[in-house]
Structure 1
């Protein structure tokens, strides 16, 4: 396996989030040399609290690559979810409708498992790399360079994978005249807390309330993850703990039946919301994956799952190329991924507009929301549409069975 001082690696990976680490793991298993470059420290990437709902196939991918043991011990399998609105709560039975469920297991825990597996097998990760640059992506030997302390390092690669998130450098390496961006910025954000209190429900509760959306989620039987709709630029200082709990109690209401215990808040923060897609996801020898190429509002719990889908497609294309010289998977990477991405964007937008309060909504719009929620929770066909999207479209088939 190539170390950080190698002059050439087959795949250079920018970013050690779930996409980059999983991409390194998959080719590694096929004997393809990879180098992962990460701007942050190991402690930072392993401590970032992010999404926590893994689709059925995402969980299986982690098992298949040998990093699913702790997930299966500590994760929480959910076979349903609840939609709360108009003073009541109704359950969507995911398993009855699809034969599948989801796994609640934090993204930072997935990162820990992937980092540990890579280090255990001697795979190279450069943490705290600065001044990272990608060059010559239209050539047969693109270059990946960075600084470690005072030393400047560089390697040539057969391919570069940009897995460095929305604010990373990779997407900007594609010429502006080639890249197309599609974006919708939402007029609200989520105030999220991590609290030391047992979850008030065994399954997630998505609540539509006149004061705004709320979500009850969890990370373990002792730790709850809870969210409130707020302004996208909300001043967190205006939300002391007492106000947060008061709002959660009001918005979750009957759905929790008085079971929401107000424990110690361990972490709080505000996340703005957007839908974003960059096309194409490949230019020359550079491939974008995960948040570098797309962002979804978190209502549908799809961010990390989309990244895993990208990585599966790219890893298989790389394996085919190195096994036989077949470039068709690499050439078709962007088209294949985008077919699924746009379906997931539609689902995430749909969940968002159905459950959130938009200031411009009229009384008609609010009545329509209630009617839509009523239909989704009473029609088997509509409930199945939600369920099959929530447990996950096929990871690498453009959304087709």
Structure 2
């Protein structure tokens, strides 16, 4: 049996960042991760960091490689009706975004935690969470084939949608909101130099497509597909042909081709659970909410959660003040629902809707035209895309 102050389940951005923030204030944590280190460091996920997320990583001492290798972007492009339309993020908000893969953020956090002597246990399978209604909850897990028990003051469930944390809460204590979309994204990772300085969000009559990048030599591309699409049914030539068709607008801009390193289908859903706290268990990241990827908000919401939770835990340990913990769920959910609204708006504006009639399609075109031509509409998009300000916790 081991004792710690905060048991963190999940070594994704939320769990690792929480451990980093708490360690800076002398609070002991143990991070339990069911997968291997190689697995979590190579798991390809979103790659857009909001202005505040990038600033938070720098403040936590893990931003040096991001600033050296990441790509700061001051705008995005909307491509529709045969033309590109620039949304000037920096001009409208004074802020930029950073393109830097989630797996790179995870690598940086793991390296720093281990360098600082942090306790991260990979391949640790959590079997049960007990005693949440008391002041000494326990996490039972298996590591290296042996059973272990971790006693703590609080538990942070940062283990994703399929993790054990949320399912350890009585079902009648949570309210679940969920919506599944009738389409998915087929994603392609290619060894090809980017041909655009900015991300391109394209609305084509056959469906949405996204042009993004991971490095000066690697591009990440997506296009709308069926939820049951088989990526292996697509040859490389067919994938490139479809991406050319949806992304290119006839103005001479094209995309580079190269060896395809990975292809996969990502389903799309919106999910929120309320509240994000049960007794001494706090949910963060995908364990509490999932957004459609169109607005590039998943990792950013996870990092925002722990920027609320960490100072609340510090106040409790340093001063016995529970107000930050008591308001954690309310504060986070305000942001979660605003981000859900923006992500759903972006999704509906850019995707071909299977059951849309001609009237709805014309409205969708008008929405895109407004975002591109109307300064107030463009500002609304830009302010949400670079990231909403964090709300101050209860005082």
TM-score between both structures, scaled by the size of structure 1: 0.96
1:255 is displaced (CA, Å) by 7.2
May I ask how many residue pairs the two structures share in their alignment? 393
Which structure 2 residue ranges, 5 or more long, are not aligned? none
1: CA distance between counterparts of 2:183 and 2:328? 33
Once the two structures are superposed, residues 298-338 of structure 1 have per-residue CA deviations (whole angstroms, 9 ceiling, x without a partner) of 00000000001100000010111111111000011000000
2: CA distance between counterparts of 1:37 and 1:120? 17
2: CA distance between counterparts of 1:39 and 1:347? 32
Which of 210, 216, 219 lines up with 1:224 in the alignment?
219
1: CA distance between counterparts of 2:212 and 2:183? 19
2: CA distance between counterparts of 1:237 and 1:53? 27
Instruction: Verify the 8 A CA contact 2:126 2:139 in the aligned structure 1.
Output: no
Which of 134, 145, 148 lines up with 1:153 in the alignment?
148
Which of 9, 17, 29 lines up with 2:12 in the alignment?
17
Once the two structures are superposed, residues 1-22 of structure 1 have per-residue CA deviations (whole angstroms, 9 ceiling, x without a partner) of xxxxx62111000000000000
The 1:146–1:354 alpha-carbon spacing in structure 2 relative to 1, beyond 3 Å, is: same
Alignment of 1:212-251 (within 5 A): 212-251=207-246
Which of 17, 27, 36 lines up with 2:31 in the alignment?
36
Instruction: Verify the 8 A CA contact 2:126 2:164 in the aligned structure 1.
Output: no
Alignment of 1:91-106 (within 5 A): 91-106=86-101
Which of 54, 57, 65 lines up with 2:52 in the alignment?
57
Counterpart for residue 140 of structure 1: 135
Which structure 1 residue ranges, 5 or more long, are not aligned? 1-5
Alignment of 1:309-388 (within 5 A): 309-388=304-383
1: CA distance between counterparts of 2:40 and 2:109? 11
Counterpart for residue 120 of structure 2: 125
Which of 282, 297, 302 lines up with 1:287 in the alignment?
282
Once the two structures are superposed, residues 195-252 of structure 1 have per-residue CA deviations (whole angstroms, 9 ceiling, x without a partner) of 0111121100000111110000000111000001001111112211111111110101
Instruction: Verify the 8 A CA contact 1:201 1:256 in the aligned structure 2.
Output: no
Counterpart for residue 85 of structure 2: 90
Instruction: Verify the 8 A CA contact 1:200 1:256 in the aligned structure 2.
Output: no
1: CA distance between counterparts of 2:101 and 2:127? 28
Match of 2:304, SS? helix
Which of 266, 271, 288 lines up with 1:276 in the alignment?
271
1:97 is displaced (CA, Å) by 0.2
Alignment of 1:107-118 (within 5 A): 107-118=102-113
Match of 1:50, SS? coil
Instruction: Verify the 8 A CA contact 2:16 2:31 in the aligned structure 1.
Output: yes
TM-score between both structures, scaled by the size of structure 2: 0.98
Alpha-carbon RMSD across the aligned residues, in angstroms, is 1.1
